[in-house]
């Protein structure tokens, strides 16, 4: 049990001061509560001794008043400190998870589902947020309250005090068994809760597929199974722990009965005064009240423990930005030197070397799965190379902090993601402190100012999650505006025009031309009119560069690029005539 408390206070971080304050006032609350025992002793002595005077009454009421007021104030301060500490703690941890994920290798997100990460930041953190204040507070308060009253009873009569202590120790023995049982059940409950989040997210994200292929029943079955499993694990935890909780309560009640019986026996034998006997009998009814509440909440401590472990799994994941320093590259030359990279057991890049001089354009083409996107991801350090070096400005990218490295790079992806926010804030994502004038200027260059202005709320228009409320071409142009506003000297275009409709393509090509002017450009594309004017073309297949050169050089060689040209001519019906596309 105390190991859980240590883990929790370590997890609380900066907020543990609030928890210490809450616990301190919880101790004072128990002290003020123990005053009631003193008040009863004064009242019982006055009644039994037949000398209940006005002074005795006022002393009794005064002690009770101090007790009640002290309990109210200390309980309020204790609860406020713990609740605020809990919410602040979870707020900081959620932000910490978000910040940490920015520096994790992209492979982490491939091997850990969205549902697992979402569950850790939502339902798991919510368990900590809501369960920890009552669980820790009532458990600690119950222990402290019982300890203080037991000490008081030992002072009044050591025999009754020892009986009270023996009952408490037997309670802790049973509670230890309960904690052990809870330790095995809580992780299973957490897994089931995570699975529910995973399946619900999968169901929602795949709704279009579900509807298109009439898979609603199959999808529902998977989600229903996950919900049923979570219900089963929750029910199993409650049923398994209930007997132990019942035995705990029985031990405390029986000990109270023993206290009453022994007190009466000692009085009848003349070994205890009537006043003390009555006080012990009255005390037996509330001596274990706090401990009973503690026993009921103790099982939840293990749940808090399991939840903390789940969150800490993310915080213990290795990050990439460890040894880097803030650097400004002397130029934007990019070079790969004998670079190899594998994802798990599959080699994606195999001993690749090439150079991209500053302010030149490089197109990367080749069959699907050949490693094109991986090359770009290694430049941006979404992954780290297993062997060799990726250089920027004659310095290995690993020597940069991720922030200082990525400040030099803007990326426009095939699948653009826009946040559930205003258009203005989505564009400002490239430069958060940009003025309205700078943002509008970038939007005009990206050919999206006109359609944004035509919207009812203009730049303040709220976009749906992922930008679902606008077309694909409009999303691409907003992404270009975002990259343009950032003003990075290196531009990476990963199939940026692949899925754009003909109506938007011309405007997007114009926007990209403005974006890439006087920049170092790396583009992945399958359209000849996109790559034919590149300063160099790299043809990659099976993780290796098998051809390199200009369009004219590669067009005259047998190989993948010539086949690529032939396929495109047949696919879209255009032909080459000199240097013109007809």
* Confidence label for 68 from pLDDT (cuts 50, 70 and 90): very high
**475, 505 contact by CB (below 8 A):** no
pLDDT at residue 409 is higher than 80: yes
* Confidence label for 299 from pLDDT (cuts 50, 70 and 90): low
Q: At which residue do the structure tokens 């809870």 appear? A: 182
Separation between Cα atoms, residue 554 and residue 184, nearest integer Å? 63
Q: If DSSP codes are grouped into helix, strand and coil, which group holds residue 434? A: coil
Separation between Cα atoms, residue 483 and residue 515, nearest integer Å? 8
pLDDT at residue 214 is higher than 70: no
At 467-498, the pLDDT tens digits run 667 877 788 888 888 888 888 899 898 876 66
Separation between Cα atoms, residue 582 and residue 574, nearest integer Å? 6
Six-digit token pair at 477? 């142009």
Among 90-94, 133-137, 309-313, 387-391, top mean pLDDT goes to: 387-391
Q: At which residue do the structure tokens 């500053």 appear? A: 358
Q: Tell me, what's the pLDDT at 531? A: 81
Six-digit token pair at 440? 């509008």
* Confidence label for 290 from pLDDT (cuts 50, 70 and 90): confident
Which residues does 104 contact at the CB level (< 8 Å), separation at least 6? 317, 318, 319, 320
| Mean local confidence (pLDDT), 51-56 | 81
* Confidence label for 562 from pLDDT (cuts 50, 70 and 90): confident
Q: Which domains does the chain have, with CATH numbers?
A: 2-184+239-314 (1.20.1560.10), 323-408+518-582 (3.40.50.300), 409-487 (3.40.50.300)
Q: Are strands 409-413 and 580-581 parallel, antiparallel or unpaired?
A: unpaired
pLDDT at residue 219 is higher than 70: no
Q: Report how far Cα 441 is from the mean position of its chain's Cα atoms.
A: 36
How many other C-beta atoms are found inside a 10 Å radius of the C-beta of residue 559? 12
Q: Which residues pair with 391 in a beta bridge?
A: 335, 396
Q: Tell me, what's the pLDDT at 231? A: 81
| Mean local confidence (pLDDT), 221-227 | 78
Question: How does the average pLDDT of the chain come out, rounded?
Answer: 81
Q: If DSSP codes are grouped into helix, strand and coil, which group holds residue 327? A: coil
Q: Tell me, what's the pLDDT at 576? A: 41
Separation between Cα atoms, residue 321 and residue 275, nearest integer Å? 71
The more confident residue out of 453 and 208 is 453
pLDDT at residue 248 is higher than 60: yes
Please tell me the least confidently modeled range out of 141-145, 276-280, 430-434.
141-145
* Confidence label for 330 from pLDDT (cuts 50, 70 and 90): confident
Residues in the chain: 582
User: Could you tell me where the DSSP H helices lie in 269-321?
Assistant: 274-284, 289-315
Please tell me the least confidently modeled range out of 12-21, 147-156, 203-212.
203-212
Separation between Cα atoms, residue 10 and residue 20, nearest integer Å? 12
The predicted model scores a pTM of 0.66
* Confidence label for 352 from pLDDT (cuts 50, 70 and 90): very high
Q: Report how far Cα 392 is from the mean position of its chain's Cα atoms.
A: 32
Determine what percent of the chain is predicted with pLDDT higher than 70. 88
H/E run at residue 99: helix 54-101
Give Cα separations from 561 to 276, 538, 557, 577, 580 (angstroms).
Answer: 101, 9, 8, 18, 18
H/E run at residue 540: strand 536-541
Q: At which residue do the structure tokens 């001794």 appear? A: 49
pLDDT at residue 72 is higher than 90: yes
Q: Tell me, what's the pLDDT at 206? A: 65
At 93-148, the pLDDT tens digits run 888 888 888 777 776 776 555 667 777 787 788 888 888 777 777 777 777 778 87
pLDDT at residue 332 is higher than 50: yes
Q: At which residue do the structure tokens 């994502």 appear? A: 429
pLDDT at residue 456 is higher than 80: yes
Q: Tell me, what's the pLDDT at 391? A: 93
| Mean local confidence (pLDDT), 287-307 | 74
Separation between Cα atoms, residue 347 and residue 543, nearest integer Å? 7
| Residue-wise burial string across 386-412, b where 16 or more C-beta atoms lie within 10 A, e elsewhere | eebbbbbbeeebbebbbebbbbbbbbb
| Residue-wise burial string across 174-186, b where 16 or more C-beta atoms lie within 10 A, e elsewhere | bbeebbebbeebb
| Mean local confidence (pLDDT), 266-273 | 89
* Confidence label for 578 from pLDDT (cuts 50, 70 and 90): very low
Q: Tell me, what's the pLDDT at 501? A: 61
* Confidence label for 204 from pLDDT (cuts 50, 70 and 90): low
What DSSP assignment string belongs to 120-177?
IIIIIHHHHHHHHHHHHHHHHHHHHHHHHHHHHHHHH-HHHHHHHHHHHHHHHHHHHH
Separation between Cα atoms, residue 235 and residue 382, nearest integer Å? 42
Separation between Cα atoms, residue 346 and residue 265, nearest integer Å? 80
Q: Are strands 409-413 and 490-494 parallel, antiparallel or unpaired?
A: parallel
């Amino acid at each position: 049990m105390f190991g859980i408390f240590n883990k929790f206070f370590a997890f609380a971080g900066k907020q543990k001061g609030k928890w210490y304050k809450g616990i301190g006032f919880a101790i004072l609350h128990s002290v003020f509560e123990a005053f009631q025992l003193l008040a009863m002793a004064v009242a019982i002595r006055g009644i039994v001794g037949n000398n209940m005077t006005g002074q005795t009454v006022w002393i009794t009421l005064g002690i009770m008043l101090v007790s009640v007021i002290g309990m109210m104030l200390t309980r309020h301060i204790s609860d406020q400190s713990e609740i605020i500490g809990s919410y602040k703690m979870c707020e900081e941890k959620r932000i910490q998870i978000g910040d940490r994920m920015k520096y994790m290798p992209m492979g982490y997100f491939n091997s850990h589902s969205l549902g697992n990460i979402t569950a850790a930041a939502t339902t798991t953190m919510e368990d900590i947020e809501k369960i920890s204040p009552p669980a820790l507070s009532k458990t600690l308060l119950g222990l402290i309250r019982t300890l203080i009253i037991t000490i008081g009873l030992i002072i009044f009569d050591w025999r009754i005090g020892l009986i009270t202590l023996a009952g408490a120790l037997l309670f802790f023995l049973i509670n230890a068994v309960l904690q052990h049982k809870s330790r095995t059940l809580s992780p299973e409950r957490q897994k089931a809760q995570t699975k529910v989040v995973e399946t619900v997210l999968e169901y929602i994200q795949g709704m279009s597929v579900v509807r298109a292929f009439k898979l609603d029943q199959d999808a529902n079955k998977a989600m229903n199974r996950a919900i049923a499993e979570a219900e089963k694990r929750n029910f199993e935890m409650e049923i398994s722990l209930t007997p132990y909780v019942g035995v705990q309560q029985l031990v405390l009640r029986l000990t109270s009965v023993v206290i009453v019986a022994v007190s009466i026996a000692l009085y009848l034998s003349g070994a205890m005064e009537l006043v003390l006997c009555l006080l012990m009998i009255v005390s037996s009814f509330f001596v274990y009240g706090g401990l009973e509440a503690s026993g009921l909440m103790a099982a939840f401590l293990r749940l808090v423990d399991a939840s903390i472990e789940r969150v800490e799994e993310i915080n213990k994941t290795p990050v990439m930005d460890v040894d880097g320093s803030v650097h400004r590259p002397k130029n934007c030359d990019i070079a790969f030197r004998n670079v190899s990279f594998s994802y798990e057991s599959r080699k994606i890049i195999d001993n690749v070397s090439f150079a991209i001089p500053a302010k030149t354009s490089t197109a990367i083409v080749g069959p699907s799965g050949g490693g094109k996107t991986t090359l770009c991801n290694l430049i941006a350090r979404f992954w780290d190379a297993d062997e060799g070096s990726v250089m920027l400005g004659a310095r290995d990218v690993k020597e940069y902090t991720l922030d200082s490295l990525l400040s030099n790079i803007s990326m426009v992806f095939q699948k653009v993601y826009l946040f559930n926010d205003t258009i203005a804030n989505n564009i400002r994502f490239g430069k958060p402190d940009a003025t309205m004038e700078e943002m509008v200027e970038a939007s005009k260059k990206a050919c999206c100012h006109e359609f944004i202005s035509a919207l009812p709320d203009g730049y303040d228009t709220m976009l749906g999650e992922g930008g679902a409320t606008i077309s694909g071409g409009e999303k691409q142009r907003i992404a270009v505006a975002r990259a343009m506003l950032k003003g990075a000297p290196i531009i990476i275009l990963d199939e940026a025009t692949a899925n754009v409709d003909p109506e938007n393509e011309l405007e997007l090509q114009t926007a990209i031309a403005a974006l890439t002017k006087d920049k170092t450009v790396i583009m992945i594309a399958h359209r000849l009119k996109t790559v034919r004017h590149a300063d160099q073309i790299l043809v990659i297949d099976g993780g290796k560069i098998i051809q390199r050169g200009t369009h004219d050089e590669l067009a005259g060689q047998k190989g993948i690029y010539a086949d690529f040209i032939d396929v495109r001519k047949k696919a879209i019906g255009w032909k080459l005539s000199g240097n013109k596309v007809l």
